[in-house]
Amino acid sequence: MSSDTAATPPASSGGVADGRSSMTVVPVRHPWRWMASVGILVLAAMLFNTLVFSHLTRGGTREGRFQWGVVNQYLFDAPIMRGVLVTLELTVIAMAVGVSLGILLAIMRLSANRLLSGAAWLYIWFFRGTPVLVQLTFWYVGISYLYPHLTLGVPFGTALWTFNSTTLITAFVAGALGLSLNEGAYMSEIVRAGIIAVDEGQSEAAASLGMSRSQTLRRIVLPQAMRVIIPPTGNETISMLKTTSLVSAIAVTDLFQATQNVSNANYQVVPLLLVASLWYLFFTSLLTIGQYYVERYYARGASRQLPPTPFQRLTSALRRERPAAPVAPLTEIPWVAPHD
């Protein structure tokens, strides 16, 4: 049987199938969807036009409204790239410390020991209750004001090491510290929600096999909690990438400060804001893609069959195969003959 006759029912098939194949199916029409689509296309065309083709006369010279030339000139400029690096470093440090601290605080809060859970509660209360900008400024100027010398040694006893606070806590260290400690408070609530979401029967089953509490947490509870933890953690990471721009207030030359430095010198404020935005957008896009795959990894065992990734869909479309159906069909539909 050739593929163009694929929809013809086999001669032997019975009543309903025959009836259906010999009639014309009229699909439901959606006029409002059509009108909305046309509206969106018009708006998209206008946006494209103003971004690319529209011009303006500024100070007697006629130039592109968005000055993409200037944007292009600074996008990969060395000082900007150094700023990009600082922003990435701060994001990675703050999230790494924040997640570790968050796990620790979450476990403390869920502990049966009142002192531990109380301490964690107090930490979260304090760091969620004050603005990050205030915390950052505090770490930068407040610490060396309150404690000009930091010492390492026996509590209430002899000091083994003494540091000068201003040399130890540079602007970058203050920024990393402030962002990390603040993030720890938020992450702990996310981790705690994930741990609570895992059925208690899981811990009981693990205990009945003889697993210790820490093994149960590491092997059984946390991997399952990940499914709940990952999506908001992705949000936090994306949010952190942008929140790092606050360190420009404590004299750290991050991406945003780097673009500010340039525009303070050449007055090209908007093009340099575009430079910063393009870089932020680029990294948040990367993070979004990364998050998709991490979520997929932790969905093992939770959804019966994972839907194909966009990449898999693309490759199977190129091979002119249909992507695997999420759920195997229960019965063959009688009036569609297999392609052969």
Binding residues for another protein, rule: CB under 8 A, are 199, 201-202, 204-213, 215, 219-220, 223-224, 298, 300-302, 304
**Could you give the CA distance from residue 178 to residue 88 in angstroms, rounded to a whole number?**
16
Q: CB of residue 304 vs another protein: minimum separation in angstroms? A: 6
Long-range contacts of range 230-233, CB-CB < 8 Å, 24 or more positions apart? 230/291, 230/294, 230/295, 230/298, 231/291, 231/295, 232/190, 233/99, 233/187, 233/190
Distance of closest approach, residue 313 Cβ to another protein, in angstroms: 23
Q: Between 97 and 221, whose beta carbon lies closer to another protein?
A: 221
If DSSP codes are grouped into helix, strand and coil, which group holds residue 299?
A: coil
Residue 210 CB, nearest approach to another protein (Å): 3
Q: Which residues contact 75 (CB under 8 A, 6 or more apart)?
A: 275, 278, 279
Helices (H), the chain: 15-21, 31-52, 68-75, 78-109, 114-129, 132-137, 143-146, 165-168, 171-197, 200-208, 213-215, 222-243, 255-266, 269-298, 310-318
Q: Minimum CB separation from another protein for residue 199, in Å?
A: 8
Angle at 319 between CA 316 and CA 322, to 5 degrees: 50
Nearer to another protein, 162 or 212 (CB): 212
* Residue 118 CB, nearest approach to another protein (Å): 22
Length of the chain: 340
Q: Six-digit token pair at 195? A: 């741990």
Nearest residue (CB) to another protein, 86 versus 206: 206
CB of 211 to another protein, least distance (A): 6
Q: How many angstroms separate the CA atoms of 180 and 117, rounded?
A: 20
Q: Which is nearer to another protein, 164 or 212 (CB)?
A: 212
What is the smallest separation between the CB atom of 303 and another protein, expressed in angstroms?
8
The C-alpha angle with vertex 134 and arms to 82 and 242, in degrees rounded to 5, equals 40
CA distance 224 to 251: 41
Q: Which is nearer to another protein, 15 or 201 (CB)?
A: 201
Give the dihedral of Cα atoms 11, 14, 16, 21; nearest 10 deg.
0
Residue type, 309: T
CB closer to another protein, 137 vs 215: 215
Q: For another protein, give the closer residue by CB, 12 or 208.
A: 208
| Minimum CB distance to another protein smaller for 9 or for 223 | 223
CB of 108 to another protein, least distance (A): 17
- Report the C-alpha gap between 100 and 96 in whole angstroms: 6
CA separation for the pair 56, 329 (Å, rounded): 59
Task: Pick between residue 30 and residue 219 the one whose CB is nearest to another protein.
Answer: 219
